[in-house]
Each structure stands twice: as C-alpha cells, then as structure tokens.
Amino acid sequence: MKPAAAKAYVRQLCCLGLGGPAIMPELLRALAAVIPSGPNVFAEVRPDFEPGYAVLENPVPEALELYAREIQGAFRRVTDALKDWWRCRPGPVHWGHERAILDDFYRSDMYHHLWRPIGQHHALQGMVSERGRPLGLINLYRNVGEPPFSEREADELARLLPYVAHGLTARPTQDAVFDDSGRSGQIILDNAGRLTHQSETAKALLYLATHPGEPGPVKLFGLSVKALLKKLAGDLSAIAQGKEAPTPVVCRQNAWGRFVFRAYRLDAAAGENGLTLITVGHQEPRQLRLLRGLRNVPLSAKEREVCFWLAQGHSLTEVSRRLHVKPGTAKKYADAAYLKLDAHNRAELVERITAHAGYS
C-alpha cells in the first residue's frame, strides 16, 4: 500500500465511530503500514496515569503468564517516567527504550523472555491525549536487527495521534453488526470435562477472547476458561440425557471482536463416555471488514465510499445525502462499482468486498 493510502486508511478507521477498543487491533496493523513495525501494542492510560486495558498485535499465548505477572510492575515504572514527561510537556510525546526511560530495560526478564522473542527491541511510543487528558500509549516496535525509528517517523506518528484520540473517544450510537471473520478453532473435552486437544487457531482465539484486559486471572463471562468449557460440556450432557438445560452456546465480545462458543457431542453412540467438541468462531464488526476489503478492490475513492454505505444496507438516496452529492451522481458511482466487481445485487457486492478482507 502506498504511504498516502496507508495514512488515509488510519484516518478512516479513526472516524468510523466504533470506539477505541473496537478499532484498536485493526489500527495497530494499519499503523504498521505507515511506519514499518510490529508487533505493536496499545496501552490505555487513565487520567490518573493508572494502566487500563492493553491490546497486543499478534499476541503469543505462551507469553501470557509472564505478561500477566510482569506487565503491571513494568507499566508502573513507565508511567512514573511518563508523569515527568507530562509535567514538562503536556500532549503527544515520543521516545524509545533507548532514550534512557528505563535504564535497565535491556537487562530485564521482560525484555529477554517477552519483548525480544516476538521482535520488540527498538521502540517508538506516542502519547494519545485530548484536551490535556492522557488517553493511552501507542507503542511501535522493531526487532534487534532492524534500524531504530527516525525523527521523521516520530513526526509521522505525532501527526496521526489526534486522529487516534478521535477514534478512542468515540461513543457508538448503535450496536455494531458482526460478520464471521473466517477464523475458527476446535477444542475437545473428555467425559470429565478435561481438555484433551485444542487446535492452534483455538488456542489463539481463546487468548483473544480473554484479552485485552487488565492483568489477572484469565476469565470468560466471569468464569475461568476451564470452568466455562466444563459448563458447556455439562449443559450438552444434560440435554443428551433428556434434562432441561441452557443451549450450549455462549458469546463473548471485546476489542478483538465477538467470539461464539458452541458445544456438540462426538461419538454420541458412546453415551456419557463420548467426547465433547467445542467450536470457537470469531466475528468482527462489518464496518471494519468492509473498510479493510475496500482497500484491495479496483475501485476509485468515490466508488469505494459509495460501496461502503451501500454494503451496510443504506439506500442510494441516503448515500447521496451522506456524501453530499446528487442521487444521480451516487448512482453513477454505484453502477460503475457493480460493473467492475461483477456484482448484480447488494449481497454479491458485500461478498466481493469481504472476499478481499483477509489479513495480508
């Protein structure tokens, strides 16, 4: 993606109105296209500089235990340094670990067992703020063999931070519509509710379903993961025995999207000795999916804009009003887009766009 298009995509994400947690995973990926970096992190900073939720790009489940144990203390040291920066220079700031914020950072277990293995060595960090109030930290990283961030890249990030603040402070006026992202995993439990197998995708989705959030016990719906899975298996077993029980399906929504857990019987002929299959499906807001897909289709900027609203169910009259163009002009753009994408109705339009919405 060209630099101008990459920056435009960041601004568009921040103006969707979905709110910070909903856009942040996609925003971290989008920032990496503007300033080559990753895996990147966003950490919420509350007005009192207390840490809030954190969003990690491409999180490594195996690092969860170390992260939960160490991040609170590490974040405390960083926020103490940030307070000093804030007193001297309120507003966006940027600095890296190399700039003496944490003198012993490169000697810490946090660096050697978490940051370095996943490619986080050089750091460029920007304080997101609005009207003198801190909102969070954008943390961009590069590996040990890559060049440190330049002043030009720091300036690029600083110019985008006001848009990030706008996205973080949005308050959605309606519930987002979610679509399947195409990612799903499988978990198998034995008749005692013990986990016997989980696919790699299931392992990753379980991590995302329980995070971001404040460090602490990994939970879903107020239950530990183990208790939740056992409950689903128990409900399914009760239904198999003819008892009344809740439908064995639950949903969880957080910054990474919506996660749907469904339980099914395996080898039902074995009765109570059968295994339980739990599928984990991932969904994400339709607006994010459309916006990401539209980056990769052969349409003009105006045609993309018209398709973005048409794909969400708006009429051409409503689209023309939103874009401040005449209805005939909106129809001209729509007709051209349908022709280019070989779409004959709105359902096919959505299908053509979302077919290009995978992560590249």
CATH number at residue 114: 3.30.450.80
Tell the burial category of 119 from Cβ atoms under 10 Å away from its Cβ (0-12, 13-18, 19+). Answer: middle
79, 49 contact by CB (below 8 A) = yes
User: Cα–Cα distance between 264 and 301 in angstroms, integer?
Assistant: 45
334 within a domain of the structure (yes/no): yes
Tell the burial category of 216 from Cβ atoms under 10 Å away from its Cβ (0-12, 13-18, 19+). Answer: exposed
272 within a domain of the structure (yes/no): yes
56, 212 contact by CB (below 8 A) = yes
pLDDT band at 325 (very low <50, low <70, confident <90, very high): very high
The verdict on 144 and 246 lying in the same domain is no
* CATH code (residue 306): 1.10.10.10
The verdict on 157 and 129 lying in the same domain is yes
Task: Quote the pLDDT of residue 216.
Answer: 42
Question: Which residue's structure tokens are 């045609």?
Answer: 303
The verdict on 94 and 230 lying in the same domain is no
Indicate whether this model's pTM tops 0.85: no
Q: Please count the structural domains in the chain.
A: 3
**142 pLDDT exceeds 60?**
yes
Question: 196-215: per-residue pLDDT in tens?
Answer: 899 988 988 887 887 655 44
359 within a domain of the structure (yes/no): no
Residue where a domain terminates, one of 262, 285, 308: 285
pLDDT band at 223 (very low <50, low <70, confident <90, very high): low
Cβ atoms < 10 Å from Cβ of 80:
11
Residue where a domain terminates, one of 145, 168, 191: 168
Residues 6+ apart with CB under 8 A from 283: 178, 179, 180, 181, 257, 258, 259, 260
Task: Quote the pLDDT of residue 73.
Answer: 58
User: What letter does residue 187 receive in the DSSP assignment?
Assistant: E
Mean pLDDT in the chain? 81
Look up the domain containing 235 and give its range.
178-285
Task: Quote the pLDDT of residue 283.
Answer: 92
Task: Quote the pLDDT of residue 131.
Answer: 83
The verdict on 203 and 65 lying in the same domain is no
Task: Quote the pLDDT of residue 311.
Answer: 93
Characterize 45-76 residue by residue with b for buried, 16 or more Cβ atoms within 10 angstroms of its Cβ, and e for exposed.
beeeeebebbbbbebebebbeebbebbeebbe
Residue where a domain terminates, one of 266, 285, 304: 285
Element spanning 20, H or E: helix 20-34
Task: Quote the pLDDT of residue 293.
Answer: 93
The verdict on 122 and 29 lying in the same domain is yes
The verdict on 271 and 313 lying in the same domain is no
Task: Quote the pLDDT of residue 165.
Answer: 93
Element spanning 127, H or E: strand 122-130
